[in-house]
Amino acid sequence: MPEDAAALARRLARNAEAVCRHYLSNGRREGRWWTVGDVANTPGRSLFVRLHGPEAGRGAAGKWTDAATGEHGDLLDLIARARGLDSLRDVLDEARRFLSLPAPQRPEPRAPGAAGSPDAARRLFHAGQPIKVTVVWSPRR
């Protein structure tokens, strides 16, 4: 069963200092915080990452804030910005690599069913999207 993003964020938070040392190597530990200039790993003291705290909620480990820009998030957000990753899949893959976790098992693509088969009809139905507004009906009526 693949791990979801929240579970990976919690695992990263348990290793917050190691994450910071790897992705924000120009920073340093100051008490319960890791400080660095920004998510691009610039030297400085604007970005703060909490190294210890509860797993979730206020004061949770792994939460960060950049005092200069107001940006904030968890360690998955930090990895995405530090590595310039746009897709969640890429961020989760990078987090798994850092944590030395195996890649999730992706289902094998299925061959399309024969035209007119119940399997093909099922796939077509599940691929459909609801129509929000039409010429005949509109939510303003």
Give the pairing type, strands 28-30 and 72-73: unpaired
The domain total for the chain is 1
59 assigned to some structural domain: yes
| pLDDT at 23 > cutoff 70 | yes
Q: What is the mean pLDDT of residues 87-91?
A: 93
The answer for residues whose C-beta is within 8 angstroms of residue 72's C-beta and 6 or more apart is: 63, 64, 65, 66
Contact of 83 with 37, CB cutoff 8 Å: no
118, pLDDT greater than 70 = yes
125 domain-assigned: no
Phi, psi of 118 (to 5 degrees): -60, -35
Between CA 68 and CA 109 the distance in angstroms is 46
Whether residue 67 is contained in a domain is answered as yes
Task: Indicate the pTM of the whole model.
Answer: 0.71
Q: Compute the Cα dihedral for 61, 66, 70, 71 and give only its sign.
A: negative
Q: Is residue 16 part of a domain?
A: yes
CB contact at 8 A, 47 and 38: yes
pLDDT category at 59 given cuts 50, 70, 90 is confident
Question: Alpha helix (H) ranges present in the chain?
Answer: 5-14, 16-23, 75-83, 88-98, 118-127
**Is 128 a domain residue?**
no
Note whether residue 111 is domain-resident: no
In a domain, 118, yes or no: no
Higher-confidence residue of 134 and 10: namely: 10
Residue 109 domain-assigned (yes or no): no
Separation of alpha carbons 140 and 134, rounded Å: 12
Q: Which domain holds residue 23?
A: 5-98
Residue pair 13/60 in contact (Cβ under 8 Å)? The answer is: yes
